[in-house]
Structure 1
Amino acid sequence: MSLFHERNGKFSPEKTLALVGSVLPAIWLGAWAVAGDLGARPVSAAIHFSGLWAIRLLLVSLAVTPARRIFHWPKLVLARRILGVAAMCYALLHLGLYAMDQGWNVGTVAREIVLRFYLTIGAVGAAFLVALGATSFDSVIRRMGGKRWNALHATVYGIAILASVHFFIQSKLDVTEAVLTTGLLIWLFAYRIWHRRTNAVGPLALFALAGLSAVLTALLEIAWYGLFTGVSPWLVAQANVQPGLGISPALWVLAAGLGVAFAGTVRLKVLPPAKVARARA
């Protein structure tokens, strides 16, 4: 199957955008490495960068289904496979760079993965991503059958959770990025649960999901700092609403959710009535 075309041979903007967007971070990382801009510990910086983009692309791949429903953009599904495979590639790069940092000592790498919990769950997540990537070809899908293939690929939700936990633990004291990433994952899960229960997520529901996800994100951040760092939950709660301390992850999640709700509402209003009726049906 062509990376840039649909099955009928027509050029696919969705697949092209997904491919270009997936490759750009790798080019960016390579340019930094060549220019010597990765800091005093370049391998460590590259490990963090590749892991961050692995989870980002994983979340974007999970966002494809809500986006195509909300914006009535069915061909967006063509981008999902590319995004998922790209997430797998960055996860493998992340693991490979860690092995490089350990001097390519397989024994040391294996021992560290077994002994360090956050490395264990990271490795498990990467292994499952490889399994999903290896079964993403049409020929494999036909051999497995739709039911078994869907069951295997439903593990992507568990992989996303493992990736978030891995991100939290390795972030140590500053979990801002991990909280933001997990907050967006909360929205994606909340959307799927709501859609499964109601079979439709309208504009009002999207606005409600934005608020709910933001509250859960704030509670997650408060709980993490309170349980694992000893920081007062009250201080963390205050930090979420004090503009002088910067925009909190919860507010970023709220802004993203409200943006999606607003854009979805506008999209619904500009669609022809017949297309709206078909979409709702």
Structure 2
Amino acid sequence: MSGQMQASGTRTPAYRAYIPWRERNGRFSPLGLAVFLAILAPGAHLAYGLLAGTLGAKPVTEVLHGTGDWAVRFLLLSLLVSPLRRVSGWGKLIGIRRMLGLAAAGYALAHLGLYVVDQSFDLAKVASEIVLRVYLTIGFVALVGLLALAATSTDGAIRRMGPNWHRLHRLTYPIAVLAAVHFFLQSKADVTEAVLMAGFLVALFACRIVQKIGLRLTSPLVLAGIAVFAGLATAGIEYLWYALATGVPAERVLAANLDFRYSIRPAWWVFGIMLAIAALPLVLRLGSRARQAVAQGAAGRG
């Protein structure tokens, strides 16, 4: 959820408005505009459903859950930016990290606001519920953390805070863990989406650990190992949840991972997507070689 510091020796204005579809040099960014519109799309869809009356008997509750879901999704996407940039070598990806982090904070704040609406604006009741219900306490702490990160995501905050900025923004992963736990606890019986998000979070942690121990994140073999580990961990998380927190037979849920007649379980989605990322370096290398071959052929004919 960061902006990058200006290169040393260059002057920056005291204030610069953050415009998502502009690069730091002021040029138009098609990627930034596309991501900005993609961020707005879920909110627009939920708002339309609310106004059109297509969200069932409890429309506010549906939008409440939808904003919470997207807050977690955008938070994980913001964490994905750095490893994906290293895997792909596409440096411009770093420019959308701040936007995704701000989107996560915005949807989370809307999530809380809709909870207040759902409780008929009874702020005393809202406060007591947050204090007394563990899953709401966890979610509120995650929201406060997200708002702190969002408030300090500006270039000015980076300059003023110095090393403390990096210390604060290392809390992004713990905040993501809190958000995932909140997701689980409020999902109750159907935790498919929560398991999926937890699995992706495990994969992101694995990417971070791989970098810390000095392995190359650009290695397809290393990424494939992360895919296998994250997939198995996702299945394990799902099994443990059903074994410890519900009356549903956990063995039956675990066995469902091998039955594709009705649905594809979260473990396979995590494994498949991470495996696709593992294939990305190979695809990029093949593309580079193909371009080189074409260039050499053209030079030979010339």
Q: Scaled by the length of structure 2, what TM-score is found?
A: 0.87
The aligned residue for residue 195 of structure 2 is 179
The aligned residue for residue 94 of structure 1 is 111
The aligned residue for residue 79 of structure 1 is 96
Counterpart residue identity of residue 62, structure 2: A
Q: Does 1:136 align with 2:153?
A: yes
Q: Does 1:223 align with 2:240?
A: yes
Q: What is the SS of the residue equivalent to 2:140?
A: helix
Displacement, 1:233? 2.9
The aligned residue for residue 184 of structure 2 is 168
2:199–2:267 contact (8 Å) kept in structure 1: yes
Q: Does 1:191 align with 2:207?
A: yes
Q: What is the SS of the residue equivalent to 1:245?
A: coil
Q: Does 1:235 align with 2:265?
A: no
Q: Does 1:211 align with 2:228?
A: yes
Identity %: 46
2:50–2:60 contact (8 Å) kept in structure 1: no
Superposed CA offset, 1:132-151 (max 9, x none): 11001111111111x11011
Displacement, 1:173? 0.9
Higher relative contact order, structure no. (Cα contacts within 8 Å, ≥ 6 residues apart) = 2
Counterpart residue identity of residue 113, structure 1: I
Q: Which 5+ residue runs of structure 1 have no aligned equivalent?
A: 274-281
Counterpart residue identity of residue 117, structure 2: M
2:216–2:222 contact (8 Å) kept in structure 1: no
2:199–2:231 contact (8 Å) kept in structure 1: yes
Q: Which 5+ residue runs of structure 2 have no aligned equivalent?
A: 1-17, 291-302
The aligned residue for residue 56 of structure 1 is 73
Superposed CA offset, 1:180-211 (max 9, x none): 11101111111111111125121111111111
Q: Scaled by the length of structure 1, what TM-score is found?
A: 0.94
Larger Rg over CA atoms: 2
1:164–1:178 contact (8 Å) kept in structure 2: yes
Structure 1 pair 150–199 and aligned structure 2 pair: CA distance change class (3 A): farther
